[in-house]
Structure 1
Amino acid sequence: MSHNIWYSTADKADILAFLGSNGNVPANQQRRLAEMRTSAQVYQAELVRQDVDWGLPVPEALEHLIAGHTECDTEYAGNAYHAAMQIIIDQNASDPAHLGTYSRPATFFSYVGEVMQSLGVPAELLPYGFFYPTTLPGGFPYIPHSADVYPAIGHMPLAKAKPAADAYRAILDQLDPSTRYDIQELIDKLDLEHEHWVYGTEKLDWYTQDTLFLALT
């Protein structure tokens, strides 16, 4: 099975405004809330079409997050909560861009990370930690892990995009040739997002994005 990785950027505060809000958000955010609910219904309909039952419908998981809890403890509830959280992120983030398609991304980035660390890349900049973090960013509620790893939500502060890209670039020629293309793609994406972040923070008074989010499906 192939796994796709998409990324987007957002202001964490915009996402947190919906979590635990009970739907009591300003009028200008009510449209986003309505679109989240519609997206959750569409997501659930596709699960039903595929005969997938997580024991917690995605629309219900979304309402749990809006109410500020993740009380369902069925085996696959984490899958539903991750899907619902990704819907909230998507409604508050930039348009998603495709990073890559992998047959076993966790294995790939774990292996590359071990090699990178042996070559001097600091542990806090290793890609596996951004792609498969143990928790969501600070301030976000706990949600159970997906039972089969996917869907998963990765994240990194935009302030770390350039340090990570520079660290990967410094050891790129020492990596196994079979992995260099994918790491170069990651470097290019991080460079681009760093440039957008610097321009936005310096030139745009409305720009507040601070986090790169990764959607792994």
Structure 2
Amino acid sequence: MSRIISYSTADQAHIVAFLGAGDSLSADQRDHLAAMRESAQAHQLRLERQDIDWGLTVPDALDHLIAGHADSTAEYAANAYYTALQHIIDANASDPADLGSYSKPSTFFGLLDDELRRLGVDADLLPHGYLFAGPPDGIPFRLPHPMDGSPDFGRLPLAKAKPAADAYRRVLDRIDPDLTYDVRVLIDMLDEEHDNWIWARERLDWYTQDTLFFSIKG
């Protein structure tokens, strides 16, 4: 089954601030939380229509994360926690866009990493590293990883979007032709997100987004 990689931008600190916040949320955060709970409940209803039972509902998982723990012993609780975290990200991020659909994205981008590494691209700019980087930094408690690897997260500081795009562009004419299209997709996405980031930083005094988040589902 194919997995879809989508992306959006957000302020990582705004997302982490919800995790373990408990009753200390600001009025604005409570408004965001209400939207998260609504989307989490809608997600849970979709799961139930598919007869999917993780042993922990998405709304309950969201409440656990806000309370500051992810310690359910249900076999598939990690799926619920990761899904709830995605709702926290979505409520604080730009509208998502799809990067693409891949049958085995971890394998594919691992091979792409090998090719780019061979051509001299720095390790911290290799795509598998950021596409599968995991949840945001700074979560104040352990978050279990889904056993089946879905959903999953990635993240890249927006400050690295242009360096990554430039690094790929420099070696594009030497990349295995079977990989060229996918590298161009990455370059176009990174260029656009960098340009949007620069535009917003220069013109919007309230703008604090600093991270490109990736979501891998399917």
Short-chain TM bin = over 0.9
In structure 2, the CA distance between the partners of 1:170 and 1:29, relative to structure 1 (3 Å rule), is same
How far apart, in 1, do the equivalents of 2:187 and 2:139 lie? Answer: 27
2:190 maps to a residue whose letter is L
* Structure 1 residues 202 and 129: alpha-carbon distance in aligned structure 2, compared to 1, 3 A threshold: same
Deviates most, 71-80 or 161-170: 71-80
2:188 alignment partner AA = D
What TM-score comes out, normalization by structure 1 length? 0.95
Map of 1:100 onto structure 2:
100
What is the rounded CA distance, in whole Å, between the counterparts of 2:137 and 2:152 in structure 1?
17
Contact 1:121 1:167 in 2 (8 A): yes
Aligned position for 2:72 = 72
Take 2:171 and 2:111, find their aligned partners in 1: how far apart are those partners? 15
Conserved? CA contact 1:20–1:66, under 8 Å: yes
- Range 83-92 or range 72-81, more displaced: 72-81
C-alpha displacement of 1:89: 0.3
Partner of 1:137: 136
In the alignment, structure 1 residue 25 sits paired with structure 2 residue 21? no
CA distance in structure 2 between the aligned counterparts of 1:117 and 1:77, rounded to whole angstroms: 36
Alpha-carbon RMSD: 1.3
* Residue 203 (structure 1) shift: 2.4
CA distance in 1, matches of 2:69, 2:17: 14
CA–CA distance in 2 between the matches of 1:53 and 1:42?
Answer: 15
SS of the equivalent of 1:19 reads: coil
Structure 2 runs not aligned, ≥5 long: none
Q: Percent identity?
A: 56
Residue equivalent to 1:197 = 197
Work out the number of aligned pairs and report it: 216
Q: Which residue of 2 aligns with 1:174?
A: 174
| Corresponding residue number in structure 2 for 1:13 | 13
Native 8 Å contact 2:115 2:176 kept in 1: no
Where does the alignment leave 5 or more consecutive residues of structure 1 unmatched?
Answer: none
- Structure 1 residue runs of 4 or more that deviate by more than 4 Å after TM superposition: none
Deviation at 1:172, TM superposition (A): 1.6
Equivalent position of 1:209 in the other structure: 209
CA distance in 2, matches of 1:73, 1:130: 29
For residues 81 and 23 of structure 1, the distance between their equivalents in structure 2, rounded to whole angstroms, comes to 19
On the 8 A contact 2:16/2:136 being kept in 1, the answer is: no
